[in-house]
């Protein structure tokens, strides 16, 4: 909708609203729609609405060269007149309104400026060559969208030309500004004074100037300020004014930076800044903190001697209660900084970590899990706008090198993968970062594209992880590009498998490496691959809507599961397992678009090495969106049941039947069991799957499962609900062995009686009364302490907590009373001495007897 408001509070205060090809006139007094006029049939791209008390002009282009103006009666909405002019050339870009009834637009080759004047419904146009206004007009000209009365700004290369449009429609070049970054809109500070601001780059500084639109020579404000390079270019600027004590006008400017941060500048200083880039997190990984040793800290937290002394003087003041309010705040800060939680070193329990987030602006932040502060932030050079790479997007962030052997003197590093532009055929950029300092170690612009990145389970001697980047032309590229990496890959050549999902065609393919690429230039890091298998889903009845696989770094503690009757079931645990959800094409849209009769949801569990379908299941009358999580041998998914009109969650557990007959003790004695036989992905075991479904009240935005260091602790599902909260639900509620009346033995084992819906216990919201606005994803990371899992939820807000799905069985709870323990010990020691003295005395008495 284009809103157009009459600012000059007229007697009837008409508000014009244009949307979806229809102009509405709304009374400003009572909000009543007075009239409406439909322009949808005219195929006009309405760009301007000019309001006057009697008539309203609606102007816009039809196609790219016909300019139409409609005259509408302001009182009744009646069409009075329409007029049009056909330009002898096509136009490009948006037209800009310069003053009331004048517009400027560029022609399609961007060499001419066209001024269109609609005087009382008559259209006149003038054209002028850009080269008449500026000597060097070799670059592409662009009209900047800043709204300045009587002026417009034309950008050519890095220069900006300010051009005045006279009443006669003549164009006069006013000024030429070099190295301009951004222009603001005009701000009216008094009846006839309009000002605007612009910023220029000057060596390391930037200059902010505020000028009067009519008085070109003098500047109202000229300020120099230094802005951190990491923030990148200035994208936008907005100004507002205040009246100083001497009644002159002062200005403050709000700047939007390339990394999506906001700065408020006043009197040549940055008053405040906000990292709003954190609202658009793209990918998350974690990094361990440095091992504690003398002189190691990530950012220099402390301290020279003076700082140290100052801190102690402050603390002393605090204890003597003579600290002022400001000093108290400083003490608080010091305490927080030196507190256990926010230390910059690795802790024994592994609670302290760095969360490394990649934002959409291409900036990488390291957040401390203790207090959420930004430890470092870097705008990646590779993901900055440049001539080769106009619209870079960050895609993924991976751990590149995690030193264990040299943890003391080597820093871990990260790999960031990005792409120049939104399409998959855009070239790839990769960048390597130091995880402790945020320094960009290296960045490469690659010739190939990126369709998928596969971190391989192998590392080289420097503990760099091997990664395969698959491009759209069916080539796989190995990183790091070292001979050693090639050696490792050659050794594991036949053990590398992956799959690809073609959602549009409904095909899933399995792949393996074949040989080196055949190019004119020999590249031994480039490989071609072959298709091993493919599964083609019938396109008339099924459409892929979701695929989920297991996390590659998940740890499983035990393969066996003991049943109530002392029977053993063997979990089917394979890393190469894929969950696929297909919906009927008619019901692949949103809820409310399909009837239960035409909706089906088909679930597959597929082995990605052999392409074998391990399990298939159909839910009739159900549809997506499907959210799923795969862990160990089970998958939990959330979908919508149209018949009951409720959301449902289902669980499928997969068991290996071929190991089930190992229960016979004689087989063990005689050595006829197959427990020692190697497990191979080529092997086709007998599978049995158990499944159960339950109702779930809420819509879901994301599902994750807790992960712990050894995988012993029972699991909890973390469900990001539509209300932007994160609910922790015990996996025990999603157990196919639940029955209506569990036996005593089953109850003792912890099997919950079957209910038709999953309980939502409000205390188990791990976000408590907080909300993670715009929740998009949940990430779980194991702590070193087995009972604890770290949870990071991101959206517009960021949320971090640590949870213990089976309570903290391996450590004392936070509310454990150490005082009581001490008191008991003291009491015991005292009792010991008292009783000792008493018994001594008694002994003596006895001896005297």
Partner 1 sequence: MASFTKSLFLFLFIQFCFSILPSSFAQSPTPGSSDGYTIYGRVKIPSFGTKEFSLPAKVSNVKVILNGGQRVSFLRPDGYFSFHNVPAGTHLIEVVAKGYFFSPVRVDVSARNPGKIQAALTENRRGLSEFVLEPLKEEQYYEIREPFSIMSIVKSPMGLMMGFMLIVVFLMPKLMENMDPEEMKRAQEEMRNQGVPSLASLLPGAARSN
Residues in the site for partner 1, rule: CB under 8 A?
Answer: 19-22, 24, 26, 30-33, 36, 38, 40, 590-593, 595, 625, 640, 642, 644-647, 697-699, 701, 722-724, 757, 760, 762-763, 765, 768-769, 771, 815, 820-821, 824, 827-828, 831, 835-836, 839-840, 843
Instruction: Report in angstroms how near the CB of residue 813 gets to partner 1 at its nearest.
Output: 12
Q: What's the closest the beta carbon of residue 2 comes to partner 1, in angstroms? A: 13
Q: Is the dihedral of CA 684, 685, 686, 689 positive or negative?
A: negative
Q: How far is the CA of 456 from the CAs of 137, 404, 489, in angstroms?
A: 52, 18, 9
Q: How far is the CB of 36 from partner 1 (least distance, A)?
A: 5
Closer CB to partner 1, residue 31 or residue 422? 31
Q: Which two tokens stand for residue 372?
A: 């959420």
Return the number of the residue (513 or 700) whose C-beta is nearest partner 1. 700
DSSP secondary structure string for all residues of 74-124: TTT--EEEEEEEE-SS-EEEEEEEEETTEEEEEETTS-EEEEEEEETTEEE
**Which residue number, 253 or 599, has a Cβ lying nearer to partner 1?**
599
Q: How far is the CB of 723 from partner 1 (least distance, A)?
A: 4
The residue (of 472 and 827) whose beta carbon lies closer to partner 1 is 827
Query: What is the C-alpha separation between 678 and 135, in angstroms, rounded?
Result: 78
Q: Give the nearer residue to partner 1 in terms of CB position, either 35 or 458.
A: 35
Nearer to partner 1, 33 or 679 (CB): 33
For 820, list phi and psi in degrees, rounded to 5.
-65, -40
Q: For partner 1, give the closer residue by CB, 32 or 203.
A: 32
| Contacts of residue 319, Cβ cutoff 8 Å, sequence gap at least 6 | none
**Of residues 576, 585, 580, the one with CA closest to residue 602:** 580
What's the min distance (Å) between Cβ of 594 and partner 1?
8
Residues in the chain: 849
Residue whose CB is less far from partner 1, 674 or 839: 839
CB of 310 to partner 1, least distance (A): 39
What minimum distance in Å lies between the beta carbon of 815 and partner 1?
Answer: 8
DSSP H or E segment with residue 309? helix 305-319
DSSP secondary structure letter of residue 767 = T
CB of residue 33 to partner 1, shortest distance in Å: 4
Residue 775 CB partners (closer than 8 Å, separation 6+): 701, 702, 720, 724, 726, 793, 794, 795
CA distances to 232, 314, 452 from 380, rounded to whole Å, are: 10, 39, 21
Nearer to partner 1, 151 or 628 (CB): 628
Q: How far is the CB of 645 from partner 1 (least distance, A)?
A: 4
What crossing angle do the helices spanning 325-338 and 305-319 adopt, rounded to 10°?
120
How far apart (Å, rounded) are the C-alpha atoms in residues 366 and 356?
4
Q: Which is nearer to partner 1, 613 or 825 (CB)?
A: 825
What tokens does 44 get? 């006009």
Residue 584 Cβ, how far from partner 1 at the closest point, in Å?
Answer: 16
Provide Rg for the chain, Cα atoms: 35
Which of 80, 78, 108, 79 is CA-nearest to residue 93? Answer: 108
Least gap, CB of 6 to partner 1 (angstroms): 18
Please state the closest distance from residue 292 (CB atom) to partner 1, in A: 33
147 alpha-carbon distance from chain centroid:
33
Q: What is the largest CA-CA distance in the chain?
A: 134
| Cα distances (Å, whole numbers) of residue 469 to 227, 533, 552 | 36, 20, 17
Facing residues of 23 across strands? 18, 37
The distance from CA 559 to its chain's CA centroid, rounded to whole angstroms, is 35
**SS3 (DSSP) at 163:** strand
**Min CB(362)–partner 1 separation in Å:** 27
In Å, what is the CA distance from 605 to each residue of 164, 617, 628, 680?
67, 9, 12, 18
Nearer to partner 1, 502 or 840 (CB): 840
Q: Toward partner 1, which CB reaches closer, 25 or 426?
A: 25
Q: How far is the CB of 45 from partner 1 (least distance, A)?
A: 15
Q: Rounded to an integer, what distance in angstroms lies between the CA atom of residue 436 and that of residue 716?
A: 31
Output 22 or 512, the one with its CB closest to partner 1: 22
Min dist CB 545 to partner 1, Å, is: 14
> How near is the Cβ of 24 to partner 1 at its closest, in Å?
6
Separation of alpha carbons 631 and 255, rounded Å: 45
Toward partner 1, which CB reaches closer, 218 or 592?
A: 592
Q: How far is the CB of 728 from partner 1 (least distance, A)?
A: 12
600 with 641: CB under 8 angstroms?
Answer: no
Transcribe 783-837 into DSSP letters. Answer: -SSTT-EEEEEESSSEEEEEE-TT--TTS--TT--HHHHHHHHHHHHHHHHHHHH
Q: How many CA atoms lie within 13 A of 676 on its CB side?
A: 5
The rounded distance, in Å, linking the Cα atoms of 793 and 765 is 13
Cα–Cα distance for residue pair 396/795, rounded to 1 Å: 16
* Comparison of 558 and 835: residue with beta carbon closer to partner 1: 835
Give SS3 for 421.
Answer: coil
Closest CB 324 distance from partner 1, rounded Å: 34
In the complex with partner 1, which residue's Cβ is closer, 122 or 593?
593
Tokens of 83: 């007029």
Closest to partner 1 by CB, 416 or 545: 545
Choice between 319 and 593, CB closer to partner 1? 593
Residues contacting residue 214 through CB under 8 Å, at least 6 positions apart = 150, 192, 193, 194
């Amino acid at each position: 909708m284009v809103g157009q408001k009459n600012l000059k509070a007229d007697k009837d205060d008409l508000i014009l609203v244009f949307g979806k090809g229809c102009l509405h006139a709304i009374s400003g007094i009572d909000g009543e729609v007075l009239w409406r006029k439909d322009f949808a049939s005219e195929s006009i791209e309405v760009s301007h609405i000019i309001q006057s008390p009697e008539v309203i002009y609606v102007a816009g282009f039809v196609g790219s060269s016909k300019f139409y103006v409609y005259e509408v009666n302001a009182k009744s909405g009646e069409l009075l007149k329409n007029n049009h002019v056909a330009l002898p050339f096509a136009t490009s870009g948006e037209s800009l309104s310069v003053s009331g009834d004048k517009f400027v637009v560029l022609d399609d080759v961007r060499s001419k400026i066209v001024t269109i004047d609609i005087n009382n419904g008559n259209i006149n146009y003038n054209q002028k060559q850009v080269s008449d206004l500026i000597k060097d007009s070799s670059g592409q000209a662009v009209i900047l969208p800043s709204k300045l009365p009587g002026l417009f700004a034309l950008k050519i290369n890095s220069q900006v030309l300010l051009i005045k449009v006279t009443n006669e429609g003549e164009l006069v070049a006013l000024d030429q500004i070099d190295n301009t970054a951004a222009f603001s809109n005009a701000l009216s500070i008094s009846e006839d004074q309009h000002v605007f601001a612009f910023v220029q780059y000057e060596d390391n500084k930037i200059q902010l100037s505020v000028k009067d639109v009519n008085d070109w020579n003098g500047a109202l404000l000229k300020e120099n300020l230094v802005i951190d390079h990491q923030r990148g270019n200035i994208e936008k600027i907005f100004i507002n004014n205040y009246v100083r004590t001497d009644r002159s006008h002062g200005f403050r400017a709000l700047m939007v930076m390339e990394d999506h941060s906001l700065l408020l500048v006043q009197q040549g200083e940055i008053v405040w800044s906000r990292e709003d880039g954190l609202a658009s997190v793209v990918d998350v990984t974690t990094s361990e903190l440095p091992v504690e040793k003398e002189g190691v800290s990530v950012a220099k937290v402390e301290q020279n001697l003076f700082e140290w002394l100052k801190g102690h003087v402050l603390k002393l003041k605090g204890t003597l209660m003579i600290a002022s309010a400001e000093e108290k705040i400083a003490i608080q800060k010091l305490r927080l900084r030196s507190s256990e939680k926010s230390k910059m070193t690795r802790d024994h329990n592994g609670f302290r970590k760095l969360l490394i987030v990649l934002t959409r602006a291409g900036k990488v932040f390291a957040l401390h899990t203790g207090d959420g502060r930004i430890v470092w932030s870097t705008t990646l050079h590779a993901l900055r706008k440049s001539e080769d790479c106009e619209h870079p997007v960050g895609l993924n962030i991976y751990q590149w090198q995690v030193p264990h052997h040299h943890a003391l003197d080597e820093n871990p590093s990260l790999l960031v993968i990005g792409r120049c532009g939104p399409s998959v055929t855009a070239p790839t950029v990769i960048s390597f970062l130091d995880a402790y300092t945020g320094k960009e170690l290296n960045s490469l612009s690659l010739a190939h594209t990126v369709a998928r990145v596969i971190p391989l389970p192998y590392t080289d001697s420097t503990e760099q992880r091997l990664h395969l980047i698959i491009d759209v032309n069916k080539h796989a590229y190995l990183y790091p590009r070292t001979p050693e990496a090639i050696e490792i890959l050659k050794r594991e050549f036949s053990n590398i498998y992956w799959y690809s999902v073609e959602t549009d065609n409904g095909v899933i393919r399995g792949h393996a490496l074949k040989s080196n690429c055949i190019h004119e230039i020999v590249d031994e890091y480039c490989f071609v691959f072959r298709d091993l298998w493919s599964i083609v889903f019938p396109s008339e009845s099924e459409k892929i809507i979701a695929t989920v696989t297991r996390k590659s770094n998940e740890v499983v503690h035990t393969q066996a599961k003991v049943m109530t009757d002392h029977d053993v079931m063997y979990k089917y645990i394979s890393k190469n397992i894929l969950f696929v959800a297909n919906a009927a094409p008619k019901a692949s849209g949103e809820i409310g678009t399909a009837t239960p009769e035409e909706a089906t949801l088909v679930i597959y569990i597929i082995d990605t090495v052999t392409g074998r379908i391990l399990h298939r299941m159909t839910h009739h009358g159900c549809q997506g969106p499907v959210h799923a999580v795969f862990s160990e041998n089970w998958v939990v998914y959330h979908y919508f049941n149209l018949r009951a009109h409720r959301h449902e969650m289902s669980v499928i557990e997969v068991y290996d039947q071929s190991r089930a007959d190992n229960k016979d003790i004689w087989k063990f004695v005689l050595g006829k069991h197959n427990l020692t036989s190697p497990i191979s992905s080529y092997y086709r075991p007998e599978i049995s799957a158990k499944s159960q479904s339950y109702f779930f009240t809420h819509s879901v935005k994301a599902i994750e499962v807790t992960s712990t260091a050894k995988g012993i602790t029972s699991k909890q599902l973390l469900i990001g609900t539509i209300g932007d909260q994160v609910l922790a639900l015990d996996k025990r509620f999603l157990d196919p062995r639940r029955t209506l009346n569990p036996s005593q033995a089953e109850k003792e084992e912890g099997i919950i009686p079957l209910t038709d819906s999953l309980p939502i216990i409000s205390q188990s919201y791990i976000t408590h009364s907080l909300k993670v606005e715009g929740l998009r994803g949940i990430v779980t990371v194991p702590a070193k302490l087995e009972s604890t899992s770290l949870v990071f939820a991101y959206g517009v807000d960021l949320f971090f907590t640590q949870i213990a799905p089976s309570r903290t069985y391996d450590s004392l709870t936070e509310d454990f009373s150490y005082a009581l323990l001490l008191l008991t010990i003291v009491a015991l020691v005292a009792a010991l001495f008292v009783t000792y003295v008493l018994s001594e005395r008694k002994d003596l008495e006895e001896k005297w007897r």
